[in-house]
Amino acid sequence: MFELKKLSPGSIPEALIKVERYRLLNEPREAESICRDILEIEPDNQQALIWLLLSLTDQIGPGSVSVADQARQLIPRLKNEYERAYYAGIISERRGKAQLAAAGPRSGYNAYGWLNEAMGFYEKAEAIRPEGNDEAILRWNTCARMVMKHPEIRPEPEGASEIMLE
């Protein structure tokens, strides 16, 4: 239907600034579009990959599995092992928050699973973090506080899934 226009390579630094602005304005689809334009010109641009991943996770909500899957597919393209672990944690954490917001009959169990997975990724990131970078600790603590604050976020009791199947 339309052929997308290409950015000029010299415009990429300014385009990245616009991505940040759109995210701050809570317009993740606009930020996502700009990131995709940048990646057409520079497929390995790490900042654009991270911003794209974050823009996608900004769109995670109840029933948005495909956008989370798109974000997860970007993880292997990140060159830094710390960033792969940290941003995998971000994806899982946001899925957990979406499950909690869904407020369905199993949302607390599902939220716990995602938040627990996120905390595992954050622990991995913490172990290999650059000196002075405590982002992973801050995120881990956020997840822990969420679990402690909301009694409905808890592990599924053993055998509970079997009971529901009967």
**Residue 120 falls within a domain, yes or no?**
yes
Neighbouring CB atoms inside 10 A of 76's CB total: 8
Taking the C-alpha atoms of residue 87 and residue 116, their distance in angstroms, rounded to an integer, is 15
Task: State the pTM of this model.
Answer: 0.91
Do 111 and 48 belong together in one domain?
A: no
pLDDT digits (tens, 9 = 90+) for 3-16: 999 999 999 999 99
Do 151 and 84 belong together in one domain?
A: yes
- Domain residue limits at 46: 9-59
Q: Which residues of the chain have pLDDT under 50?
A: 163, 165-166
Do 20 and 54 belong together in one domain?
A: yes
Give 69-101 as a DSSP string: HHHHHHGGG---HHHHHHHHHHHHHHHHHHHHH
pLDDT of residue 166: 47
**Residue 17 falls within a domain, yes or no?**
yes
Provide the 8-state DSSP code for 134. -
- Is residue 78 within 8 A of residue 49, CB to CB? The reply is yes
Taking the C-alpha atoms of residue 57 and residue 87, their distance in angstroms, rounded to an integer, is 10
The total domain count for the chain is: 2
**Residue 74 falls within a domain, yes or no?**
no
